[in-house]
Chains A and B, each alone.
Chain A
Amino acid sequence: MPQPATEDLRKCIHCGMCLEACPTYRVSGLETESPRGRIHLMQALLDGRPATPDLTIHLDRCLACRACETACPSAVPYGRLIESTRAMLQERKPANPWLLWLFGHPSRLRRAFGLLSLYERSGLRRLLHRTGVASRLPQRLRMAEGLVPQMRPRFSRDSGGVVMPRAPMRARVGLLTGCVMRESFGDVHDAAAALLSRAGVEVVIPPRQVCCGALHAHGGDLQGARELARTNVMAFSEAAVSAIVVDSAGCGAHMKHYGELLADDPEWADRANLLADKTKDLSEILLPLAGQLRFGPLPLRVTYQDPCHLAHAQGIRAEPRALLRLIPGLELVEMREADRCCGSAGIYNLTQPEFSERVLDLKMADVVATRPQAVVTANPGCMLQLRYGLERVGLDVPVYHLAEVLESSALAGDELRR
């Protein structure tokens, strides 16, 4: 049975140095909504305290943003703890099975997004907003409504394929298309592929790949997560690539843990480890290749929001900033605590709308203070959440994925040269 490891729990010396890093503690001021409180609770549950809803709610409210892990001087592996605790609780009571079901299969998600896009296209969304009905919707619905991706194109190579390098070839990599990304952030994938190709990288999109399974793992469905991981390990090993590029921080963070996820499966463990080692965030791959790109001017004042699963889970903070600074004319204004979660956190904004909004409002105050002309981040969930947040505070500026900004600049650069 999955459960949090005692050695992991014992690492916590309840010093409280993680409290202020925790977004849910920051908005509530309650120990029950803090990493230290949650760790204490996990221990209590492990010791046999019944998992009543009034206790588990505090674990449900955890964003799994892992900011506490960054803050913790004594190296408590909080991410692993919350995941295994959720898996333990899941065995007793499945959480939000419909959401996991939805995200688990491309076809189901496609149908759902089809409906959303109908809602978008039919003008119903605008109507709801104009008549003010939107603000009277119950919170959970309103939140979901605000989060409907303003429909963006599907990925142009949805069914797999290869993007040839447009410069002398330096590498051959695979691209993870994922679930949400391929459906509603296809243009981000296109931008990522174009950038790589400009830098001399051949990009392979294996057709048989599936959702990375991060949402399943975070939700406690480890079985489902393992199934998806195996399928991806298979799909990418067939493609014979030197790296797997991921442009969604959440997926990248999860795939880097495929090894751990499949550690008990002798048939798959080694291959999963190999895949995990090859997994790279787009910014990690691009920065060393940036010399191959010609960035054109992009006069824009932007602020960068660290996706939790990039900053806290993968330790990637410098690369995206370094890339942005290469763009002539672009001004990067740092917000306060850029690596504090925006409240998106996978499907948290749907399962915990109230806390999600409070965390978001705290974030928006810092975003607004930088007076940005655009907000840049590197994860689809954050993009949706930030856009929703900007709408809430009435700041009419776009939210871009790092890849989009870089590609616009690189495109401009190439055209200038021509």
Chain B
Amino acid sequence: MYEYDAGFDRATPALVAAPGTAAETAAVVAACARAEVPLVARGAGTGLAGGAIAPGGVVVSTARLRRILEIDTESRAALVEPGVVNLALADALAPHGLLFGPDPASQRCSTIGGNIGNNAGGPHALRYGSVVQHVLGLELILADGTPCAMGGRAPDRAGYDPTPFVVGAEGTVGIVTKAWLRLLPRPEAVRTFLAFFADVESGAEAATAIIAEGIIPAALEMMDAPTIRAVNAAFEAHLPADAGSLLLVELEGPAEECEARHERIVAICRRGGATDIKAAANEEERALLWKARKLGYPALARLAPNNYLMDGVVPRTKLPETLRQVAVIAERYGLLVANMFHIGDGNLHPTLLFDAAVPGTTEKAIEASALILKHCVEVGGALSGEHGIGVEKNQFMRWVFSDADLDTMHRVRDAFDPSGRMNPGKIFPTDEPPRELPLERLKFRFAEDMWV
């Protein structure tokens, strides 16, 4: 039953270990080293890139290590075990007036260990950045079973600090057993509102305009019409069913400043053709909006039995164009596409909706998604904004990195894990030739101006 995560790929592990302490974790890793078998760290398995699946290897689940060991309100740091669920940490911090910046939409179940593994972001990444900016130190079990500590409670460190390197390494350098996290004060005021637009493009242009004016909201999210339909069905969100897209904007800071920025953003949206603007009247309404946004992706399953979610990044200026391109690709493949994403930082999550029971559809979806990602890379973006590379996109790494780039990465990895047994097959492309994309065929089928 550990054959899956929330992504697309499946693989049966040989064995699953669920240690209850850091010492047990070290013992498990040491045993794997003696037996020379590969191992894969796993949190809650909500990753979307297959990072936590283990073909034939040993899954080491850190989900049971779920203690918050210390909340240091003075130095604003917390020491936690990796299995602590992101939302549970948020709940524990709230009474102290503190927060942990990254709030991946999966926060109600994903773990700090997995957040670190994938360098998770979230809607508020626009203001707070991703996990790497919030990890002060780590305790790690290396491939041979030895524990190793880096960084710590205090922010200033001497010598090499490998902490930021471990964050986002998808469990390929070691298994995190403890983490020192940076905490931030909760904002004085929060303002949350929605702006509705007739279509996706005008929404995207308004979003670009907001950032261009130098206003950085705490969160700036977009949902398109299919998404609105799904979240209305799932959460009784009562969003206008005829809206072509909406922007969910959240502002944080001193009350007056929020007020001023709110007015400016409303003005920009109106100029950009917003059909309506609606503010969350109270904390309950705000919670409902965020629930709809954060659980919007699984709610899409109400529209079609299968889906394929992507995680490309493009420069914000390329947003409207990329969204157009996504729609075109989806249409060409006869797939429905839903968009709900962190528009503020150009992190797209186009989700292809389909029915895998129809023969050939899954292949189509995979092909279409590869084309979409290729497009993102070509306009100067990235393969992944926050979900990681895993086994899903490792073959695409060559689109972005040269052999020399990859070789450097390999050498750093080898310094931690010379045996290459930690989460093998993830991130790095394997030797099998990258799958040929039918680019020529596609270009031919698209109108000339559509192809960039």
A residues at B contact (CB < 8 Å)? 7, 10-20, 28-32, 36-37, 40-41, 58, 71-75
Contact = CB atoms under 8 A, between A and B. Distances in A.
Contacts of A12: 301
Nearest to A55: B1
Given A29-B83, A30-B18, A37-B1, A16 B306 contact: no
A31 B234 contact: no
Contact of A74 (B45, B46, B109, B299): B299
Contact of B46 (A17, A30, A40, A75): A17
Contact of A29 (B61, B110, B301): B61
Interface string B74-112: 000000000101011000000000000000001011100
B267 to A, nearest CB: 34
Contact of A11 (B45, B296, B301): B301
A20 B305 contact: no
Contacts of B4: 14, 40
A14 B106 CA distance: 12
A354 to B, nearest CB: 16
A31 B61 contact: yes
B106 A17 contact: yes
B305 A10 contact: yes
Contacts of A18: 109
B400 interface: no
A13 B298 contact: yes
Nearest to A11: B301
A41 to B, nearest CB: 6
A29 B302 CA distance: 28
Given A73-B295, A74-B302, A17 B2 contact: no
B61 A13 contact: no
Contacts of B18: 29-30
B1 A29 contact: no
A17 B108 contact: yes
B1 A17 contact: no
A18 B108 CA distance: 9
Contact of B306 (A13, A30, A40): A13
A74 B234 contact: yes
A20 B302 contact: no
B6 interface: yes
A109 to B, nearest CB: 37
B252 interface: no
A171 to B, nearest CB: 29
Contact of A13 (B2, B83, B296, B307): B307
Contacts of A15: 6, 46, 106, 297-298, 301
Given A10-B305, A17-B46, A72 B61 contact: no
Q: Which of B66, B85, B299 has the most CB of A within 10 A?
A: B299
A31 B83 contact: no
Nearest to A41: B1
24 contacts: A11-B305, A13-B301, A13-B307, A14-B4, A14-B6, A17-B106, A17-B298, A19-B44, A20-B85, A20-B87, A20-B109, A29-B61, A29-B64, A30-B64, A31-B1, A31-B16, A31-B45, A73-B234, A73-B298, A74-B301, A75-B233, A75-B234, A75-B301, A75-B302
Contacts of A30: 18, 61, 63-64
A37 B46 CA distance: 13
Given A15-B298, A18-B109, 10 more contacts: A10-B306, A15-B297, A16-B46, A17-B108, A20-B85, A29-B61, A30-B63, A31-B2, A73-B295, A75-B234
